[in-house]
Amino acid sequence: MIKIKLSDLLGKNKMTQKALAEMTNIRPATISKMYYEEVKRIDVKHLNNICKAFNCEISELLEYIPDDKKNK
């Protein structure tokens, strides 16, 4: 599974979802879905804009967590 660590980045940088949406030109609803890890797809342009806003690497935003083999 892929974990979206947007909530961690927002907290660490003391930024609101609304401020990030305005800074990145991403719809607030999209930011909210990413924040709550409810998004099904992520546009590469959005990832680029978020990394640019936080001056971070993609690994600080996304994390791969292997699925438990029992779930297969």
pLDDT of 67 reads 86
Q: What is the mean pLDDT of residues 44-56?
A: 97
Does residue 48 or residue 67 have the better pLDDT?
A: 48
Listed in sequence order, the residues at least 6 apart from 57 whose beta carbon sits closer than 8 Å to its beta carbon are 51
Checking DSSP bridges between strand 62-64 and strand 2-4, what pairing results, if any? antiparallel
Assigned CATH for 2-71: 1.10.260.40
Give the residue extent of every domain in the chain: 2-71
Integer-rounded Cα radius of gyration of the chain = 13
- The structure tokens 């979802």 sit at 17
Q: What is the mean pLDDT of residues 40-68?
A: 95
| pLDDT tens digits along 5-46 | 999 999 999 999 999 999 999 999 999 999 999 999 999 999
pTM of the complete model: 0.87
Res. 72: pLDDT tops 70: no
